[in-house]
């Protein structure tokens, strides 16, 4: 189980550093990325290009800063549950801290699916909606 937990921890660290888009190497080519419908640009994205070249740039364009701060990792079979908080600042300079739960499915030592659970209303309020 530790290997799966470490894979997800390494993914967060790589994404945070954003060095040479190394974080893509932790994911299957056809990764399924599911975010809450109420999240900016939320929905279902499939494939590395869709997730990292469509979803993330559009979603992140709403913020001056946006960080996922994981604090707890739980492994169950092929899944890793991550609890933590989003924190950052919107384009209109509103700071926010919003708890999240992320569910990762691991297949062949790579992330094959991501599901997000968070209070999207608090995020929309911070954006100005």
Contacts of 38 (CB under 8 A, 6+ apart): 120, 121, 123, 124
Using pLDDT thresholds of 50, 70 and 90, give the confidence band for residue 6: very high
CB 56 within 8 A of CB 88: no
pLDDT in tens, 31-55: 999 999 989 999 999 999 999 999 9
φ, ψ at 7 (rounded to 5°): -55, -45
Domain carrying residue 71: 2-127
**Can you give the CATH number for the domain in which 32 is found?**
3.10.450.50
- Across the chain, what does the average pLDDT equal? 93
The number of folded domains in the chain is: 1
Does the pLDDT at position 20 exceed 90? no
Burial 15-38 (b: 16+ CB within 10 A, else e): beeeeeeebbebbbeebbbbbbee
pLDDT in tens, 79-107: 999 999 999 999 999 999 999 999 999 99
pLDDT in tens, 104-129: 999 999 999 999 999 999 998 999 86
């Amino acid at each position: 189980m530790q290997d799966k937990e470490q894979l997800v921890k390494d993914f967060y660290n790589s994404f945070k550093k954003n060095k040479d888009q190394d974080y893509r190497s932790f994911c299957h080519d056809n990764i399924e990325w599911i975010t809450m419908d109420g999240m900016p640009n939320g929905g279902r994205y499939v494939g590395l290009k869709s997730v990292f070249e469509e979803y993330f740039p559009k979603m992140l364009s709403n913020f001056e800063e946006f960080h996922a701060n994981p604090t707890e990792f739980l492994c169950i079979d092929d899944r890793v549950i991550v609890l933590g908080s989003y924190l950052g600042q919107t384009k209109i300079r509103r700071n926010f801290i919003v708890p999240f739960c992320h569910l990762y499915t691991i297949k062949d030592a790579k992330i094959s699916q991501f599901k997000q659970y968070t209070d999207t209303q608090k995020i929309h309020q911070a954006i100005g909606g």
